[in-house]
Chain A
């Protein structure tokens, strides 16, 4: 054997040995780490926390206020539905509003927003646009109104309890991405949040600290929604498929999500991601929350995406409005919608792009529209604006 041949074989053998160490971009765990010079901590989301006495009292207060309303009718006006059902709780200085999520807005502002938006929706008819499957808030509220007072109280208590247990994540996201001050004594009350390790010796990560490209989930594990109003079950199917490496039917997820022909509520999307995947673990995204991004800048929203993909190694539940203004390839306007957020690309010197799985296969339902691939990359700012344009402007993270 010639010397050259021996060297070549040796080099090939060394490559084979090293291959398992090379990151594989298609793997959920394979986000490439940056080689930044700054010492930054890898943020991890805190897992579900315990309920403090103050939290229990606050939950009791909000649930009791609902009980005072008594029996309701699904035929009540949007104003009545909003004022009776959209009630907010304060946990550690953070506000959580039933059926809408964590918000920086006041309870009155949230109710007004809901009422205004639902009036507008009602003016154009109960379903005046094609709905791809996110549940408009009126239908969410009507569903709640149809429950008995006891059932509704139990539902609200469960939602508020889950929210209270995730408050540390909200506080940390707002602190580390938006620069909001931490509440006094936070590290003492939430020792498991990892705050000290995160901020005392290292700096909070910025966009520059993240690699050029990050993504999770395999592009082969995608599917198109089988019914026009199943974007929620299909989004959930793809997220769970990424975790379990096993696909369950969209019908299964529709049942778990409580999906109706009116669609799926984002709070149910968040709930089922927590219940049915491991992406809510502490080493991943922690407990998913429904987060109002109306006070988030594009820069902050982008950083949230990067953190989720690279640090949490977990997908996001995107919640845009699917209309031509933001999705110019569409033939006509649709409705609120869910997509799986699963990547970003700094795009060299170009504008930031995000990657997502699109459950809506327009070809399936319309002879005037061609096939669109499930795996998509696009200008991140368009998606940010589409998220903000949805009247709920929230996201599942």
Chain B
């Protein structure tokens, strides 16, 4: 988000104005359906309620059979809680762990610290900067600072973990420059970020961290934007959208300079997605008036699976599985972290303690460990578990 306007932003503003913003007009998409007072109220939770007591599937169990894109097979999650360890940092900070490394962003997002045995690197932004993204993957760590009000290009500090050399910066002066705000993602030796291309188009840039070579790849159509970039061994994905109200949102795979929409995703309702070995995991947000209430799906080959409700903006790929958070489905239920594994298992791997209200923030993957922050009436905690 920004106060300053990038070139493409100006395009979007113009079109947004014609869609009803500049005269304060309420768009038709804001309209509540006429009728009962509950017409815009959230619906009851779907029936794919996880059973905390259901046993974990054994290897002898028959493989889960999927459905079609139109009728994906519902999958009941089993509970297979991971061995979670609390991180020493307070829950107000944001921690990511990977291998021997711990990355901590302080509460005010002014400081990011990488720590390992006998090695430490601290990144403090200038007076007018703040950490917007901080990631670990393999031997690499990245801290992104955004400028105050996002009027200047973002600045990413790339560090080879444990090494005394090999640091470099990706910023507005790079061969393929950064822009203000936008999505960032870190894969094994690869970094992607937003950039501005020809004729003010909004494009994706890929940085090979080993060679430091940058390349502008796919560019969004005119009057389109994108976010939610994710890198897995199967490729890079993102969500692109147009400037309509509501936006038509499409989850897609980046293939060089092209974009291939995920198969089987309901038109215009996609929110985020990751590529798996021979498929994908994604979410849709069906109701404009409940933007945080997503529904997750998976495809494996030609088979489709209904993974149930989850929280939008929480999908993360980590060590061969896709993780996402789920708010309590019933009063008194815990908030949960679920994962969809390569062998078609949907597992509850973390639950909040106590019966009070709770929710999870976006999980963080450091390659072989996943870290999650839970905020709840019974207490806040930040815990990590080995998954690799």
Residue positions of A touching B, CB distance < 8 A:
23-26, 30-32, 120, 123-132, 212-215, 218-224, 226, 228-229, 237, 247, 249-250, 298, 324-325, 327-334, 343, 345, 347-353, 355, 361-382, 385
Contacts and interface: CB of A to CB of B under 8 A. Distances in A.
Given A125-B127, A298-B357, A328-B361, A373 B34 contact: no
Chief secondary structure at chain A's binding surface:
loop
Contacts of B61: none
A7 B308 CA distance: 47
Contacts of A228: 1-3, 149
A255 to B, nearest CB: 15
B181 interface: yes
B262 interface: no
A128 B44 contact: no
Interface string B24-56: 111001111011111111101100000000000
Interface residues of B, number: 86
Contact of B30 (A31, A222, A250): A222
Contacts of B37: 23-26, 30-32, 213-215
A363 B40 contact: no
Given A130-B149, A373-B291, A220 B12 contact: no
B152 interface: no
B38 A373 contact: no
A128 B128 contact: yes
Nearest to A122: B127
A329 B228 CA distance: 10
Contacts of A364: 12-13, 16, 21
B30 A366 contact: no
A348 B359 CA distance: 19
Contact of B313 (A31, A328, A347, A365): A328
A81 B37 CA distance: 47
Contacts of B128: 125-128
B129 interface: yes
A223 B26 contact: yes
Contacts of B288: 373, 375
B333 to A, nearest CB: 8
B113 interface: no
9 contacts: A129-B148, A215-B37, A325-B373, A328-B292, A345-B42, A363-B245, A367-B182, A371-B241, A385-B375
B357 A351 contact: yes
B38 A376 contact: no
Given A128-B128, A219-B31, A350-B331, A371 B26 contact: no
Given A126-B128, A347-B42, A367-B202, 20 more contacts: A25-B39, A124-B110, A128-B127, A250-B24, A298-B357, A328-B312, A329-B312, A329-B313, A330-B313, A350-B329, A352-B331, A367-B11, A368-B226, A370-B246, A371-B241, A373-B291, A374-B26, A374-B30, A375-B40, A376-B291
Contacts of B325: 328
Nearest to B182: A368
A224 B17 CA distance: 11
A282 B40 CA distance: 29
B132 A381 contact: no
A226 B24 contact: yes
Given A130-B3, A363-B243, A373-B289, A368 B225 contact: yes
Nearest to A358: B291
B30 A373 contact: yes
Contact of A130 (B13, B150, B194): B150
A25 B38 contact: yes
A130 B128 CA distance: 11
9 tightest CB-CB pairs across the interface, nearest first? Answer: A25-B37, A219-B32, A381-B357, A328-B313, A367-B225, A370-B247, A370-B241, A223-B24, A373-B288
B97 interface: no
B314 A366 contact: no
B167 interface: no
B314 to A, nearest CB: 6
A26 B32 contact: yes
B249 interface: yes
A376 B128 CA distance: 32
Contact of A328 (B8, B108, B362): B362
Interface string B227-246: 10000000000010101111
B330 interface: yes
A328 to B, nearest CB: 4
B180 to A, nearest CB: 9
B292 A331 contact: no
A247 B24 CA distance: 9
Contacts of A226: 21-22, 24
* Most chain B beta carbons < 10 A, residue from A131, A330, A372, A373: A373
Nearest to B35: A25
A223 B181 contact: no
Given A369-B227, A378-B290, A130 B129 contact: no
A130 B154 CA distance: 13
Given A124-B108, A213-B41, A249-B24, A381 B359 contact: yes
A374 to B, nearest CB: 5
B181 A366 contact: yes
